[in-house]
Amino acid sequence: MVAFSGSLGALMSVNPSSLHLPTQPGVYLFKTEEGRVLYVGKATHLRDRVRAYFAKKPDREMIPILITKADRIDCIVTSTPGEALILERQLIREHKPRYNSLLKDDKSFPFIALSNDEEPRILYTRHPPKGAKLWGPFPEAKAAKQVIKILRRFFGIRDKRNNIPFGYIESSNFDYTQRINAVISVLDGDARLLIESLQKEMDEHSDNLRYEAAAQTRDMIAAVQHTISQQIIHSRFYQECDAVGFANQGDLGTVVMLSTEGGIVVGQSQYPLMHRGDISESISRVLSEHYSQRRPPKTILVPAPIGEWMENWLSERRGAKVVVKNPQRGELTKLRRMADTNAEAQLLRYQRKESGSLEQRASDDGAKVLGMKSLDHIVCFDMAQLQGDVRVGASICLKNGRPEKKEYRTYIVKDQSMDDVRMMRHVVERWARKQKMWPDLLLIDGGIIHLKEISSLLSKMDLSELVPIAALAKRDETIHRIDHEDLILDRHGRVLIFARDEAHRFVNNFHKKKRNKKNLSDPLEAVEGLGAKRLQELLRHFGGRKGIEHASIDDLANVKGIGPALAQRIWRELH
Protein backbone atom coordinates (compact mmCIF):
# COMPACT_ATOMS: atom_id res chain seq x y z
CA MET A 1 0.00 0.00 0.00
CA VAL A 2 1.17 3.53 -0.84
CA ALA A 3 0.22 6.72 1.07
CA PHE A 4 -0.47 10.12 -0.54
CA SER A 5 -1.36 13.44 1.09
CA GLY A 6 -2.96 16.65 -0.18
CA SER A 7 -3.35 19.94 1.72
CA LEU A 8 -6.61 21.83 1.29
CA GLY A 9 -5.93 25.19 2.95
CA ALA A 10 -9.11 27.25 2.58
CA LEU A 11 -10.79 24.17 1.25
CA MET A 12 -13.57 25.58 -0.87
CA SER A 13 -11.14 27.81 -2.82
CA VAL A 14 -8.75 24.98 -3.73
CA ASN A 15 -8.96 23.37 -7.15
CA PRO A 16 -9.48 19.64 -6.44
CA SER A 17 -7.32 18.76 -9.45
CA SER A 18 -4.33 20.27 -7.61
CA LEU A 19 -4.57 17.57 -4.96
CA HIS A 20 -2.78 15.13 -7.34
CA LEU A 21 -4.76 12.13 -6.18
CA PRO A 22 -4.06 8.63 -7.59
CA THR A 23 -6.46 6.73 -9.85
CA GLN A 24 -6.06 3.37 -8.08
CA PRO A 25 -8.39 1.90 -5.46
CA GLY A 26 -7.76 2.82 -1.86
CA VAL A 27 -8.83 4.73 1.23
CA TYR A 28 -9.06 8.52 1.76
CA LEU A 29 -9.04 10.37 5.09
CA PHE A 30 -10.36 13.89 5.78
CA LYS A 31 -8.18 15.42 8.54
CA THR A 32 -7.77 18.61 10.55
CA GLU A 33 -4.48 20.52 10.87
CA GLU A 34 -3.86 18.75 14.17
CA GLY A 35 -4.14 15.37 12.44
CA ARG A 36 -7.54 14.41 13.83
CA VAL A 37 -9.37 12.13 11.40
CA LEU A 38 -12.88 13.39 10.62
CA TYR A 39 -13.93 10.85 8.01
CA VAL A 40 -12.63 7.69 6.34
CA GLY A 41 -13.91 6.49 2.98
CA LYS A 42 -12.97 3.86 0.41
CA ALA A 43 -12.91 4.22 -3.37
CA THR A 44 -12.39 2.11 -6.47
CA HIS A 45 -10.97 5.25 -8.16
CA LEU A 46 -9.58 7.65 -5.55
CA ARG A 47 -9.29 10.76 -7.74
CA ASP A 48 -12.87 10.59 -9.03
CA ARG A 49 -14.31 9.73 -5.63
CA VAL A 50 -12.66 12.62 -3.78
CA ARG A 51 -13.46 15.11 -6.56
CA ALA A 52 -17.15 14.25 -6.11
CA TYR A 53 -17.01 15.91 -2.68
CA PHE A 54 -16.46 19.28 -4.40
CA ALA A 55 -19.54 19.08 -6.64
CA LYS A 56 -21.83 22.14 -6.63
CA LYS A 57 -24.74 19.97 -5.50
CA PRO A 58 -23.30 17.31 -3.15
CA ASP A 59 -25.28 14.09 -2.88
CA ARG A 60 -25.14 13.95 0.94
CA GLU A 61 -26.04 16.45 3.61
CA MET A 62 -22.87 16.01 5.67
CA ILE A 63 -20.46 16.83 2.79
CA PRO A 64 -20.56 20.67 3.08
CA ILE A 65 -19.87 20.37 6.83
CA LEU A 66 -17.05 17.90 6.27
CA ILE A 67 -15.16 19.92 3.66
CA THR A 68 -15.53 23.07 5.76
CA LYS A 69 -14.00 21.48 8.85
CA ALA A 70 -11.22 19.46 7.15
CA ASP A 71 -7.79 20.93 6.36
CA ARG A 72 -6.25 18.07 4.34
CA ILE A 73 -6.99 14.79 2.62
CA ASP A 74 -4.70 11.77 2.95
CA CYS A 75 -4.96 8.72 0.67
CA ILE A 76 -3.73 5.14 1.00
CA VAL A 77 -3.62 3.13 -2.23
CA THR A 78 -4.49 -0.59 -2.12
CA SER A 79 -4.22 -3.39 -4.67
CA THR A 80 -7.95 -4.12 -4.89
CA PRO A 81 -11.29 -2.60 -3.81
CA GLY A 82 -11.63 -5.52 -1.40
CA GLU A 83 -8.44 -4.51 0.38
CA ALA A 84 -9.72 -0.93 0.51
CA LEU A 85 -12.90 -2.08 2.26
CA ILE A 86 -10.97 -4.03 4.89
CA LEU A 87 -8.52 -1.15 5.44
CA GLU A 88 -11.41 1.32 5.73
CA ARG A 89 -12.93 -0.76 8.51
CA GLN A 90 -9.61 -0.99 10.36
CA LEU A 91 -9.02 2.78 10.14
CA ILE A 92 -12.56 3.55 11.34
CA ARG A 93 -12.04 1.25 14.30
CA GLU A 94 -8.67 2.85 15.07
CA HIS A 95 -9.54 6.54 14.69
CA LYS A 96 -13.30 6.51 15.46
CA PRO A 97 -13.93 9.44 13.09
CA ARG A 98 -16.83 11.68 13.98
CA TYR A 99 -18.57 11.32 10.63
CA ASN A 100 -18.16 7.52 10.54
CA SER A 101 -19.08 7.05 14.18
CA LEU A 102 -22.43 5.41 13.49
CA LEU A 103 -20.83 2.23 12.12
CA LYS A 104 -21.02 0.00 15.19
CA ASP A 105 -22.67 -3.23 16.22
CA ASP A 106 -25.67 -2.43 18.40
CA LYS A 107 -27.54 -5.58 19.42
CA SER A 108 -31.04 -4.54 20.21
CA PHE A 109 -34.23 -6.55 19.90
CA PRO A 110 -34.99 -9.02 22.71
CA PHE A 111 -36.60 -12.43 22.68
CA ILE A 112 -39.27 -14.29 24.59
CA ALA A 113 -37.58 -17.36 26.03
CA LEU A 114 -38.60 -20.48 27.96
CA SER A 115 -35.67 -21.70 30.04
CA ASN A 116 -34.71 -25.39 30.10
CA ASP A 117 -35.23 -25.69 33.88
CA GLU A 118 -37.22 -28.59 35.31
CA GLU A 119 -40.07 -26.09 35.67
CA PRO A 120 -39.29 -23.67 32.79
CA ARG A 121 -39.37 -19.92 33.40
CA ILE A 122 -40.65 -17.41 30.85
CA LEU A 123 -38.25 -14.54 30.18
CA TYR A 124 -38.09 -11.33 28.18
CA THR A 125 -34.38 -10.95 27.48
CA ARG A 126 -31.62 -9.82 25.12
CA HIS A 127 -29.38 -12.57 26.51
CA PRO A 128 -31.31 -15.86 26.51
CA PRO A 129 -29.93 -18.60 28.80
CA LYS A 130 -28.20 -21.55 27.19
CA GLY A 131 -30.60 -24.18 25.92
CA ALA A 132 -33.66 -21.96 26.13
CA LYS A 133 -36.47 -22.19 23.59
CA LEU A 134 -36.74 -18.84 21.80
CA TRP A 135 -39.34 -16.71 20.00
CA GLY A 136 -38.56 -13.42 18.29
CA PRO A 137 -36.75 -11.11 18.01
CA PHE A 138 -39.49 -8.56 18.68
CA PRO A 139 -39.13 -5.00 17.30
CA GLU A 140 -41.91 -3.69 19.58
CA ALA A 141 -41.07 -4.46 23.18
CA LYS A 142 -44.27 -3.20 24.83
CA ALA A 143 -46.58 -5.77 23.23
CA ALA A 144 -44.15 -8.64 23.89
CA LYS A 145 -43.93 -7.75 27.61
CA GLN A 146 -47.72 -7.62 27.78
CA VAL A 147 -47.97 -11.09 26.27
CA ILE A 148 -45.61 -12.48 28.93
CA LYS A 149 -47.85 -11.03 31.66
CA ILE A 150 -50.92 -12.58 30.03
CA LEU A 151 -49.27 -16.01 29.64
CA ARG A 152 -48.08 -15.98 33.26
CA ARG A 153 -51.52 -14.97 34.51
CA PHE A 154 -53.50 -17.53 32.48
CA PHE A 155 -51.13 -20.51 32.73
CA GLY A 156 -49.29 -19.87 35.99
CA ILE A 157 -45.82 -19.80 34.44
CA ARG A 158 -42.82 -18.93 36.61
CA ASP A 159 -40.89 -15.70 35.96
CA LYS A 160 -37.13 -15.08 35.85
CA ARG A 161 -37.06 -15.08 39.68
CA ASN A 162 -38.83 -18.48 39.65
CA ASN A 163 -42.04 -17.04 41.12
CA ILE A 164 -45.56 -18.20 40.29
CA PRO A 165 -47.73 -15.13 39.46
CA PHE A 166 -49.57 -13.58 42.39
CA GLY A 167 -53.17 -14.73 42.61
CA TYR A 168 -52.79 -17.76 40.32
CA ILE A 169 -54.69 -20.78 41.68
CA GLU A 170 -53.08 -24.17 40.94
CA SER A 171 -55.43 -26.53 39.15
CA SER A 172 -55.25 -30.31 39.44
CA ASN A 173 -56.59 -30.58 35.89
CA PHE A 174 -53.33 -29.32 34.30
CA ASP A 175 -49.83 -30.03 35.55
CA TYR A 176 -46.96 -27.62 34.88
CA THR A 177 -45.75 -29.48 31.78
CA GLN A 178 -49.19 -29.23 30.19
CA ARG A 179 -49.31 -25.51 30.94
CA ILE A 180 -45.87 -25.04 29.36
CA ASN A 181 -47.04 -26.92 26.26
CA ALA A 182 -50.03 -24.56 26.04
CA VAL A 183 -47.69 -21.54 26.21
CA ILE A 184 -45.47 -23.03 23.48
CA SER A 185 -48.56 -23.52 21.32
CA VAL A 186 -49.55 -19.87 21.77
CA LEU A 187 -46.06 -18.57 21.00
CA ASP A 188 -45.83 -20.84 17.96
CA GLY A 189 -48.85 -19.02 16.56
CA ASP A 190 -51.87 -20.97 17.82
CA ALA A 191 -53.38 -18.42 20.21
CA ARG A 192 -56.97 -19.36 19.40
CA LEU A 193 -57.91 -20.83 22.83
CA LEU A 194 -56.24 -18.00 24.75
CA ILE A 195 -57.95 -15.33 22.65
CA GLU A 196 -61.34 -17.06 23.03
CA SER A 197 -60.85 -17.05 26.81
CA LEU A 198 -59.95 -13.36 26.76
CA GLN A 199 -62.97 -12.55 24.58
CA LYS A 200 -65.29 -14.30 27.08
CA GLU A 201 -63.70 -12.26 29.87
CA MET A 202 -64.19 -9.04 27.87
CA ASP A 203 -67.85 -9.86 27.20
CA GLU A 204 -68.43 -10.57 30.89
CA HIS A 205 -66.95 -7.20 31.87
CA SER A 206 -69.05 -5.45 29.25
CA ASP A 207 -72.31 -7.20 30.31
CA ASN A 208 -71.68 -6.03 33.88
CA LEU A 209 -70.98 -2.43 32.73
CA ARG A 210 -67.27 -2.70 33.68
CA TYR A 211 -66.26 -0.90 30.52
CA GLU A 212 -62.76 0.09 31.66
CA ALA A 213 -61.94 -3.53 32.51
CA ALA A 214 -63.42 -4.63 29.18
CA ALA A 215 -61.17 -2.16 27.37
CA GLN A 216 -58.12 -3.52 29.21
CA THR A 217 -58.97 -7.06 28.16
CA ARG A 218 -59.53 -5.86 24.59
CA ASP A 219 -56.00 -4.41 24.66
CA MET A 220 -54.67 -7.76 25.91
CA ILE A 221 -56.21 -9.49 22.89
CA ALA A 222 -54.59 -6.93 20.58
CA ALA A 223 -51.20 -7.45 22.28
CA VAL A 224 -51.38 -11.22 21.79
CA GLN A 225 -52.37 -10.90 18.15
CA HIS A 226 -49.72 -8.25 17.45
CA THR A 227 -46.89 -10.15 19.15
CA ILE A 228 -47.69 -13.36 17.34
CA SER A 229 -47.75 -11.48 14.02
CA GLN A 230 -44.31 -9.94 14.75
CA GLN A 231 -42.61 -13.29 14.80
CA ILE A 232 -40.44 -14.65 12.05
CA ILE A 233 -41.99 -17.97 11.02
CA HIS A 234 -40.07 -21.13 11.90
CA SER A 235 -38.95 -22.93 8.75
CA ARG A 236 -36.91 -25.97 7.78
CA PHE A 237 -35.25 -23.70 5.18
CA TYR A 238 -33.51 -21.62 7.84
CA GLN A 239 -30.42 -23.81 8.28
CA GLU A 240 -27.29 -21.80 9.20
CA CYS A 241 -28.51 -18.79 7.27
CA ASP A 242 -28.17 -15.03 7.88
CA ALA A 243 -30.60 -12.47 6.40
CA VAL A 244 -29.51 -8.88 5.72
CA GLY A 245 -32.03 -6.02 5.90
CA PHE A 246 -31.47 -2.42 4.82
CA ALA A 247 -33.28 0.93 5.20
CA ASN A 248 -32.16 4.53 4.80
CA GLN A 249 -33.36 8.12 4.95
CA GLY A 250 -30.86 10.47 3.34
CA ASP A 251 -27.40 10.02 4.84
CA LEU A 252 -28.64 7.88 7.72
CA GLY A 253 -28.84 4.16 7.02
CA THR A 254 -29.36 0.97 9.05
CA VAL A 255 -28.35 -2.60 8.27
CA VAL A 256 -29.87 -5.47 10.29
CA MET A 257 -28.47 -9.01 10.43
CA LEU A 258 -30.86 -11.83 11.42
CA SER A 259 -29.13 -15.14 12.26
CA THR A 260 -30.83 -18.54 12.21
CA GLU A 261 -30.04 -22.00 13.51
CA GLY A 262 -32.08 -25.17 13.24
CA GLY A 263 -34.99 -23.45 11.53
CA ILE A 264 -35.52 -20.52 13.90
CA VAL A 265 -34.13 -17.02 14.29
CA VAL A 266 -31.68 -17.01 17.21
CA GLY A 267 -30.00 -13.62 17.01
CA GLN A 268 -30.12 -10.10 15.67
CA SER A 269 -27.50 -7.37 15.22
CA GLN A 270 -28.04 -3.94 13.76
CA TYR A 271 -25.61 -1.39 12.41
CA PRO A 272 -26.51 2.28 11.94
CA LEU A 273 -24.17 3.91 9.42
CA MET A 274 -23.59 6.89 7.16
CA HIS A 275 -25.13 5.82 3.84
CA ARG A 276 -23.24 6.97 0.74
CA GLY A 277 -25.99 6.36 -1.77
CA ASP A 278 -24.95 2.85 -2.90
CA ILE A 279 -26.83 0.03 -1.12
CA SER A 280 -24.32 -2.60 -2.19
CA GLU A 281 -21.46 -0.53 -0.76
CA SER A 282 -23.24 0.04 2.56
CA ILE A 283 -24.09 -3.67 2.82
CA SER A 284 -20.49 -4.65 2.04
CA ARG A 285 -19.12 -2.31 4.71
CA VAL A 286 -21.31 -3.93 7.34
CA LEU A 287 -20.59 -7.49 6.18
CA SER A 288 -16.84 -6.85 6.47
CA GLU A 289 -17.34 -5.50 10.01
CA HIS A 290 -19.82 -8.17 11.13
CA TYR A 291 -17.88 -11.20 9.87
CA SER A 292 -14.47 -9.91 10.93
CA GLN A 293 -15.55 -11.02 14.41
CA ARG A 294 -17.40 -14.26 13.61
CA ARG A 295 -17.49 -17.11 11.10
CA PRO A 296 -19.91 -16.52 8.18
CA PRO A 297 -22.77 -19.04 7.77
CA LYS A 298 -23.38 -21.26 4.75
CA THR A 299 -25.95 -18.88 3.25
CA ILE A 300 -26.34 -15.11 3.36
CA LEU A 301 -29.50 -13.41 2.03
CA VAL A 302 -28.90 -9.85 0.79
CA PRO A 303 -31.13 -7.05 -0.57
CA ALA A 304 -28.69 -6.19 -3.39
CA PRO A 305 -25.69 -7.85 -5.11
CA ILE A 306 -22.43 -7.37 -3.19
CA GLY A 307 -19.80 -8.26 -5.77
CA GLU A 308 -17.65 -11.32 -6.44
CA TRP A 309 -14.67 -10.04 -4.45
CA MET A 310 -16.85 -9.70 -1.32
CA GLU A 311 -18.24 -13.21 -1.78
CA ASN A 312 -14.67 -14.54 -2.10
CA TRP A 313 -13.67 -12.76 1.12
CA LEU A 314 -16.64 -14.29 2.98
CA SER A 315 -15.70 -17.77 1.73
CA GLU A 316 -12.11 -17.21 2.88
CA ARG A 317 -13.37 -16.18 6.32
CA ARG A 318 -15.55 -19.31 6.54
CA GLY A 319 -12.97 -21.69 5.09
CA ALA A 320 -15.67 -23.07 2.80
CA LYS A 321 -18.04 -21.82 0.10
CA VAL A 322 -20.53 -19.13 1.22
CA VAL A 323 -23.64 -18.85 -0.96
CA VAL A 324 -24.92 -15.26 -1.30
CA LYS A 325 -28.53 -14.98 -2.51
CA ASN A 326 -31.05 -12.29 -3.27
CA PRO A 327 -34.26 -14.42 -3.07
CA GLN A 328 -37.39 -13.22 -4.86
CA ARG A 329 -39.92 -15.86 -3.71
CA GLY A 330 -40.48 -18.57 -1.14
CA GLU A 331 -39.62 -18.97 2.57
CA LEU A 332 -36.19 -17.34 2.29
CA THR A 333 -37.82 -14.21 0.84
CA LYS A 334 -40.04 -13.97 3.95
CA LEU A 335 -36.97 -14.03 6.17
CA ARG A 336 -35.10 -11.51 4.00
CA ARG A 337 -38.03 -9.09 4.00
CA MET A 338 -38.44 -9.47 7.76
CA ALA A 339 -34.86 -8.22 8.05
CA ASP A 340 -35.89 -5.13 6.04
CA THR A 341 -38.83 -4.58 8.40
CA ASN A 342 -36.48 -4.68 11.38
CA ALA A 343 -34.09 -2.28 9.64
CA GLU A 344 -36.93 0.20 9.03
CA ALA A 345 -37.94 0.02 12.70
CA GLN A 346 -34.36 0.69 13.79
CA LEU A 347 -33.98 3.56 11.31
CA LEU A 348 -37.03 5.26 12.83
CA ARG A 349 -35.49 4.84 16.27
CA TYR A 350 -32.23 6.43 15.17
CA GLN A 351 -34.03 9.25 13.38
CA ARG A 352 -35.68 10.10 16.69
CA LYS A 353 -32.30 10.13 18.40
CA GLU A 354 -30.87 12.28 15.64
CA SER A 355 -33.82 14.65 15.93
CA GLY A 356 -33.05 15.10 19.60
CA SER A 357 -29.42 15.92 18.89
CA LEU A 358 -30.50 18.42 16.22
CA GLU A 359 -32.67 20.21 18.77
CA GLN A 360 -29.76 20.31 21.21
CA ARG A 361 -27.58 21.76 18.46
CA ALA A 362 -30.26 24.40 17.88
CA SER A 363 -30.04 25.34 21.57
CA ASP A 364 -26.25 25.48 21.40
CA ASP A 365 -26.46 27.62 18.27
CA GLY A 366 -28.85 30.05 20.02
CA ALA A 367 -26.49 30.31 23.00
CA LYS A 368 -23.64 31.10 20.64
CA VAL A 369 -25.66 33.86 18.95
CA LEU A 370 -26.39 35.50 22.32
CA GLY A 371 -22.89 34.91 23.69
CA MET A 372 -24.22 32.72 26.51
CA LYS A 373 -22.85 29.50 27.99
CA SER A 374 -26.07 27.59 27.34
CA LEU A 375 -29.72 27.91 26.35
CA ASP A 376 -30.81 24.49 27.57
CA HIS A 377 -33.74 26.00 29.52
CA ILE A 378 -35.88 28.75 27.95
CA VAL A 379 -39.18 30.15 29.25
CA CYS A 380 -41.13 32.35 26.83
CA PHE A 381 -44.21 34.54 27.52
CA ASP A 382 -46.93 35.87 25.23
CA MET A 383 -50.29 37.62 25.74
CA ALA A 384 -53.60 37.53 23.87
CA GLN A 385 -56.64 39.85 23.83
CA LEU A 386 -57.71 39.58 20.22
CA GLN A 387 -61.48 39.93 20.56
CA GLY A 388 -63.88 41.04 23.24
CA ASP A 389 -62.70 41.36 26.81
CA VAL A 390 -61.06 37.93 27.26
CA ARG A 391 -57.48 38.73 28.30
CA VAL A 392 -55.03 35.88 28.86
CA GLY A 393 -51.33 35.13 29.02
CA ALA A 394 -49.21 31.99 28.73
CA SER A 395 -45.68 30.72 29.18
CA ILE A 396 -44.01 27.79 27.46
CA CYS A 397 -40.79 25.97 28.33
CA LEU A 398 -38.06 24.49 26.12
CA LYS A 399 -35.45 22.14 27.55
CA ASN A 400 -32.56 21.14 25.32
CA GLY A 401 -34.49 22.67 22.44
CA ARG A 402 -37.58 20.51 22.94
CA PRO A 403 -40.97 21.56 24.35
CA GLU A 404 -41.42 20.60 28.01
CA LYS A 405 -45.23 20.51 27.97
CA LYS A 406 -45.64 19.76 31.68
CA GLU A 407 -44.16 23.19 32.43
CA TYR A 408 -46.52 25.13 30.13
CA ARG A 409 -48.69 27.60 32.07
CA THR A 410 -51.77 29.76 31.33
CA TYR A 411 -52.97 32.92 33.09
CA ILE A 412 -56.25 34.86 33.10
CA VAL A 413 -55.96 38.65 33.51
CA LYS A 414 -59.10 40.02 35.17
CA ASP A 415 -58.05 43.66 35.59
CA GLN A 416 -59.63 45.46 32.60
CA SER A 417 -57.54 48.64 33.13
CA MET A 418 -54.27 47.03 32.02
CA ASP A 419 -52.64 47.55 28.65
CA ASP A 420 -50.57 44.87 26.89
CA VAL A 421 -47.30 45.84 28.62
CA ARG A 422 -48.76 45.87 32.12
CA MET A 423 -50.58 42.61 31.41
CA MET A 424 -47.21 41.05 30.57
CA ARG A 425 -45.73 42.40 33.83
CA HIS A 426 -48.68 41.05 35.80
CA VAL A 427 -48.31 37.55 34.32
CA VAL A 428 -44.50 37.37 34.66
CA GLU A 429 -44.76 38.45 38.29
CA ARG A 430 -47.26 35.67 39.03
CA TRP A 431 -44.92 33.18 37.35
CA ALA A 432 -41.79 34.43 39.17
CA ARG A 433 -43.35 34.19 42.62
CA LYS A 434 -43.81 30.43 42.17
CA GLN A 435 -40.42 29.58 40.67
CA LYS A 436 -37.76 27.49 42.40
CA MET A 437 -35.50 26.87 39.38
CA TRP A 438 -34.61 29.70 37.02
CA PRO A 439 -34.22 29.34 33.23
CA ASP A 440 -31.13 30.20 31.21
CA LEU A 441 -33.26 32.83 29.46
CA LEU A 442 -36.60 34.53 30.05
CA LEU A 443 -37.88 35.44 26.58
CA ILE A 444 -40.88 37.72 25.99
CA ASP A 445 -42.82 38.36 22.81
CA GLY A 446 -42.50 42.11 22.36
CA GLY A 447 -40.20 45.07 21.82
CA ILE A 448 -37.99 47.39 23.84
CA ILE A 449 -40.91 48.78 25.90
CA HIS A 450 -41.88 45.26 27.05
CA LEU A 451 -38.23 44.51 27.81
CA LYS A 452 -37.80 47.59 30.03
CA GLU A 453 -41.02 46.89 31.92
CA ILE A 454 -40.13 43.26 32.71
CA SER A 455 -36.51 44.18 33.48
CA SER A 456 -37.81 46.75 36.00
CA LEU A 457 -40.00 44.07 37.56
CA LEU A 458 -37.10 41.63 37.92
CA SER A 459 -34.94 44.32 39.50
CA LYS A 460 -37.70 45.11 41.98
CA MET A 461 -37.89 41.39 42.86
CA ASP A 462 -34.05 41.12 43.15
CA LEU A 463 -33.98 38.61 40.29
CA SER A 464 -31.92 40.52 37.72
CA GLU A 465 -28.79 38.46 38.40
CA LEU A 466 -30.68 35.16 38.34
CA VAL A 467 -32.81 35.53 35.21
CA PRO A 468 -31.30 36.81 31.92
CA ILE A 469 -34.04 38.43 29.86
CA ALA A 470 -34.59 39.21 26.18
CA ALA A 471 -37.48 40.43 24.03
CA LEU A 472 -38.07 39.16 20.51
CA ALA A 473 -39.91 41.59 18.23
CA LYS A 474 -41.68 40.14 15.19
CA ARG A 475 -40.48 42.96 12.96
CA ASP A 476 -37.23 41.74 11.37
CA GLU A 477 -37.02 39.09 14.15
CA THR A 478 -35.04 41.51 16.35
CA ILE A 479 -33.66 40.47 19.75
CA HIS A 480 -33.58 43.29 22.35
CA ARG A 481 -31.51 43.01 25.55
CA ILE A 482 -30.55 45.49 28.26
CA ASP A 483 -26.96 46.77 27.76
CA HIS A 484 -26.55 44.82 24.50
CA GLU A 485 -26.83 45.81 20.87
CA ASP A 486 -29.96 44.63 19.07
CA LEU A 487 -29.55 41.46 17.01
CA ILE A 488 -31.48 40.48 13.89
CA LEU A 489 -31.84 36.70 13.77
CA ASP A 490 -31.23 34.90 10.50
CA ARG A 491 -30.92 31.13 10.19
CA HIS A 492 -28.87 31.15 13.40
CA GLY A 493 -30.72 31.39 16.69
CA ARG A 494 -33.81 29.70 15.30
CA VAL A 495 -34.51 28.16 18.73
CA LEU A 496 -35.52 31.64 19.95
CA ILE A 497 -37.97 32.11 17.08
CA PHE A 498 -39.35 28.62 17.70
CA ALA A 499 -39.88 29.46 21.40
CA ARG A 500 -41.70 32.71 20.53
CA ASP A 501 -43.89 30.99 17.90
CA GLU A 502 -44.71 28.13 20.29
CA ALA A 503 -45.75 30.61 23.01
CA HIS A 504 -47.87 32.48 20.44
CA ARG A 505 -49.59 29.24 19.35
CA PHE A 506 -50.19 28.12 22.92
CA VAL A 507 -51.64 31.41 24.21
CA ASN A 508 -53.90 31.81 21.15
CA ASN A 509 -55.31 28.30 21.61
CA PHE A 510 -56.01 29.09 25.26
CA HIS A 511 -57.58 32.42 24.32
CA LYS A 512 -59.81 30.75 21.74
CA LYS A 513 -61.07 28.21 24.29
CA LYS A 514 -61.88 30.94 26.82
CA ARG A 515 -63.59 33.07 24.18
CA ASN A 516 -65.69 30.15 22.93
CA LYS A 517 -66.67 29.27 26.47
CA LYS A 518 -67.74 32.86 27.11
CA ASN A 519 -69.76 32.99 23.88
CA LEU A 520 -71.60 29.83 24.83
CA SER A 521 -72.64 31.22 28.24
CA ASP A 522 -75.70 33.41 28.96
CA PRO A 523 -74.74 37.10 28.42
CA LEU A 524 -77.00 38.06 31.33
CA GLU A 525 -74.62 36.20 33.67
CA ALA A 526 -72.03 38.94 32.99
CA VAL A 527 -74.34 41.76 34.21
CA GLU A 528 -73.09 43.15 37.49
CA GLY A 529 -75.72 42.88 40.22
CA LEU A 530 -77.95 40.42 38.37
CA GLY A 531 -77.89 37.27 40.44
CA ALA A 532 -79.77 34.02 39.97
CA LYS A 533 -82.78 35.14 42.05
CA ARG A 534 -83.33 38.40 40.06
CA LEU A 535 -82.79 36.56 36.75
CA GLN A 536 -85.53 34.07 37.70
CA GLU A 537 -87.81 37.00 38.54
CA LEU A 538 -87.20 38.49 35.07
CA LEU A 539 -87.93 35.16 33.35
CA ARG A 540 -91.21 34.73 35.27
CA HIS A 541 -92.26 38.36 34.60
CA PHE A 542 -91.60 38.31 30.82
CA GLY A 543 -92.37 34.64 30.19
CA GLY A 544 -88.86 33.75 28.95
CA ARG A 545 -85.72 35.08 27.25
CA LYS A 546 -87.49 36.50 24.22
CA GLY A 547 -89.67 38.71 26.42
CA ILE A 548 -86.58 40.06 28.25
CA GLU A 549 -84.81 40.83 24.95
CA HIS A 550 -87.83 42.83 23.64
CA ALA A 551 -88.42 44.75 26.88
CA SER A 552 -87.58 48.47 27.16
CA ILE A 553 -85.47 49.94 29.98
CA ASP A 554 -88.65 51.16 31.68
CA ASP A 555 -90.25 47.70 31.39
CA LEU A 556 -87.16 46.13 32.96
CA ALA A 557 -87.01 48.73 35.74
CA ASN A 558 -90.61 47.93 36.78
CA VAL A 559 -89.72 44.32 37.62
CA LYS A 560 -89.41 43.61 41.35
CA GLY A 561 -85.79 43.98 42.56
CA ILE A 562 -84.37 45.40 39.31
CA GLY A 563 -84.55 49.22 39.44
CA PRO A 564 -83.44 51.84 36.85
CA ALA A 565 -79.62 51.39 37.11
CA LEU A 566 -79.67 47.58 36.81
CA ALA A 567 -82.29 47.83 34.04
CA GLN A 568 -79.90 50.00 32.00
CA ARG A 569 -77.01 47.50 32.49
CA ILE A 570 -79.27 44.61 31.40
CA TRP A 571 -80.48 46.46 28.32
CA ARG A 572 -76.90 47.45 27.28
CA GLU A 573 -75.70 43.86 27.63
CA LEU A 574 -78.52 42.57 25.42
CA HIS A 575 -78.34 45.35 22.82
| Strand locations in 79-121 (E) | 111-114
pLDDT for the residue 267: 62
pLDDT for the residue 331: 75
User: 3-class SS at 442?
Assistant: strand
Amino acid identity for residue 149 in this structure: K
pLDDT < 70 regions, the chain: 1-20, 58-61, 101-109, 136-141, 143, 167-174, 189, 191, 220, 223-238, 262-268, 349, 351-358, 386-390, 416-417, 491, 515-523, 525-526
Separation CA 286–CA 247 (nearest Å): 13
> Whose CA is closest to 151, among 200, 220, 201?
220
pLDDT for the residue 13: 36
Is residue 125 within 8 Å of 111, Cβ to Cβ? yes
Is residue 496 within 8 Å of 472, Cβ to Cβ? yes
Angle at 276 between CA 270 and CA 279, to 5 degrees: 60
Q: Identify the structural domains of the chain with CATH numbers, from first to last.
A: 2-100 (3.40.1440.10), 111-230 (no CATH), 241-348 (3.30.420.340), 377-518 (3.30.420.340), 523-574 (1.10.150.20)
pLDDT for the residue 228: 56
Residue 107 dihedral angles phi and psi, to the nearest 5°: -65, 135
Separation CA 447–CA 270 (nearest Å): 51
User: 3-class SS at 217?
Assistant: helix
Separation CA 558–CA 1 (nearest Å): 109
How many residues are recorded in the chain?
Answer: 575
What's this model's pTM, rounded to 2 decimal places? 0.39
Is residue 367 within 8 Å of 499, Cβ to Cβ? no
DSSP class of residue 17? G
pLDDT for the residue 57: 73
pLDDT for the residue 492: 75
